[in-house]
Amino acid sequence: MTKDQREIQRKLRILRHAEEIGHVARTCRYFGIGRSSFYRWRQAYAERGEAGLINAPPIPKWHANRTPPEREDKVLYLRRKYHLGPMRIVWYLERYHDIKLSDATVLRILRHRSVKTLRRADLAKLTGCNLETIRYYENICVMPEPPRSSKNYRVYDDRHVARLRFIMRARELVSRCPLI
């Protein structure tokens, strides 16, 4: 017999005892439990049977300090639409929507929702391009200048990856085709 089964049997014995003698207060005093617990068990047993008597951990369904989903959606929208970093998202939300979030909260939301930031080295790995080549493309304005993070790092996204792959494919095609 497991611990849960023993606990169910104990609660059933208490409920039956109260039913037999017809006095809840005496039963609770005899078994050393509170009446609020007894009534909670009786209601759970009436609603769900023996399954209602299983001890469940008192876990809240929503944490009190959690950021509301509407605010998380706004953060994600600003990140995907305008490619803003955490500090700029904080400034934008505070200025135009009167929403106060810390940059750490915004960063946690972005990490929790798996919105990745790419640096130049990550971009080079994804596309198979050299770092110096990426720098050169930015200098001659073939690739747009990426936005900067709060610590002044360049932050690339999917748009930059697609643009660099397109440039590399075009360069490959030009090198293969004979001049007419």
115-147 confidence digits (pLDDT tens): 666 777 877 887 788 888 888 888 888 887 788
pTM tops 0.75? no
- What average pLDDT is seen over the chain? 85
- Give 180's pLDDT tier (boundaries 50, 70, 90): low
Contact 124, 158 (CB under 8 A): no
- How many whole angstroms separate alpha carbon 125 and alpha carbon 23? 75
Where does 117-180 sit in CATH, by number?
1.10.1660.10
Give, for 126, the enclosing helix (H) or strand (E): helix 120-127
What local confidence, expressed as pLDDT, does residue 29 receive? 94
Average pLDDT over residues 86-91: 89
pLDDT at 44 over 80: yes
- Give 179's pLDDT tier (boundaries 50, 70, 90): low
